[in-house]
Amino acid sequence: MTTDALELRAINTIRALSMDMPQKANSGHQGTAMALAPLAHVLWTRIMNYDASSPDWFDRDRLVLSAGHASVLLYSMLHLTGYELSLEDLEDFRQWGSLTPGHPEYGHTPGVEVTTGPLGQGVANAVGIAMAEAHLRSRLGTDLCDHFTFVICGDGDLSEGISHEAASLAGHLGLGKLIYIYDDNHITIDGPTELALSDDAPQRFESYGWHVQDIGESANDLDTLESSIRAAMAVTDKPSLVVVRSHIAYPSPNLTDSPSAHGKAFSDDEIALTKQEMGLDPTKTFQIDDEVGALYRDAGSRGSARREQWQTYKDNYSGDVAELEAILNSSGLENWQDALPTWQPGDKIATRVASGKCFEALTASVPGLLGGGADLSGNTGTLLKGATQ
């Protein structure tokens, strides 16, 4: 099988799994996952630095699926690339207690970076992740912290108020390692996006100070997807938005671009027709052929050498090792709680003043603490003594 043919079969495998999971559960969103299967393939096989055997490796690239309703896309990729998510876990999609809930949950499923589902939440969380990366890269150096945060988002995310605030902050801070990929599919559960949305998202983001690329009808063009993402990665002084015009449920013969593809499982007949269209056996479910499996497992292990190199840098770190461990583990130094001030009932102190004193006390004992205020730090106690703006 040629490389091009193998990649197409791999992408169609993602699409098939994305139909099989909701069909078995009789619930779920397969349409977005099918349309974005090529994008997921490019991210996991050509772009991202990660090691599936070590999902918590500190310097991995992060992928935030802000469009959390398309969870079957994320679960398919995590299984295929070798995370601890079995085929049986995919078959248990949306079942009580399974590792594959309807929307991704951080801390529950290996490889999930952020709990998403409430629209706008993922795009905003990703700004915080990128802020942490930028801060620690400056503080620890690029040998220990130098990774990208990629976000898959849709019109629902960008309609939410929180996305405006977060995107504005990201542009103001010049978070060059933050990349949103906007699934511009022109469709909602109720119908065309024009029913509820008439602003110009690319112009909005340009006004926020973002680098913007609109690559048009390129959702199935692997090389264009890759080159546009790499172009975004090369812009270091501002965050990037890549706009991709996709077609929900592609290549379904009857449901491509249909609102019906958004929120309910396909019929058995439509799944069979779609699998035939993709050259897959319509009688089989959860099918992954050996070559496709090997392709993705290889991609999932490719980052192990970089992770081992990172581990060497960490083991030879010349600074304060206890402080480094506290930063990497999002914890405080030993007995950090002892630094907190105390008050008695009846003490007259404003809440914001007490909060500020706690922040001051934790500065040394929780070295990874990162906070601040937009323009009211003097009143809220968030500008620490000796800190610069």
**343 close to 349: Cβ distance less than 8 angstroms:** yes
Q: Is the pLDDT of residue 352 over 80?
A: yes
What three-state secondary structure class fits 270? helix
Average pLDDT over residues 353-381: 87
Average pLDDT over residues 112-116: 98
Q: What is the pLDDT of residue 376?
A: 85
Q: What is the pLDDT of residue 34?
A: 98
Global model pTM greater than 0.75: yes
> At 274, is the pLDDT very low, low, confident or very high (cuts 50, 70, 90)?
very high
pLDDT in tens, 214-239: 999 999 999 999 999 999 999 999 99
| CB count in 10 Å sphere of residue 151 | 29
Q: Is the pLDDT of residue 110 over 80?
A: yes
Q: Is the pLDDT of residue 118 over 80?
A: yes
- Write the CATH number of the domain with boundaries 3-306: 3.40.50.970
% of residues, the chain, pLDDT over 70:
98
**Quick one: how far is CA 266 from the chain centroid?**
26
Q: What is the pLDDT of residue 27?
A: 94
Average pLDDT over residues 59-87: 99
Of the CA atoms within 13 Å of residue 260, those in its CB half-sphere come to 9
Q: What is the pLDDT of residue 374?
A: 79
Place of tokens 């600074």: 319
pLDDT in tens, 322-337: 999 999 998 889 999 9
Mean pLDDT of the chain: 95
pLDDT in tens, 197-208: 899 999 999 999
Q: Is the pLDDT of residue 316 over 70?
A: yes
Amino acid identity at 71? S
Whether residue 251 has a cis bond before it, omega within 30° of 0: yes
Q: What is the pLDDT of residue 177?
A: 99
Average pLDDT over residues 159-178: 98
Q: Is the pLDDT of residue 387 over 80?
A: no
Q: CATH 3.40.50.970 spans which residues of the chain?
A: 3-306
Number of helices and strands (H, E) in the chain? 17, 5
Q: What is the pLDDT of residue 382?
A: 86
Q: What is the pLDDT of residue 381?
A: 84
Angle value at C-alpha 216, between 186 and 6, nearest 5 degrees: 100
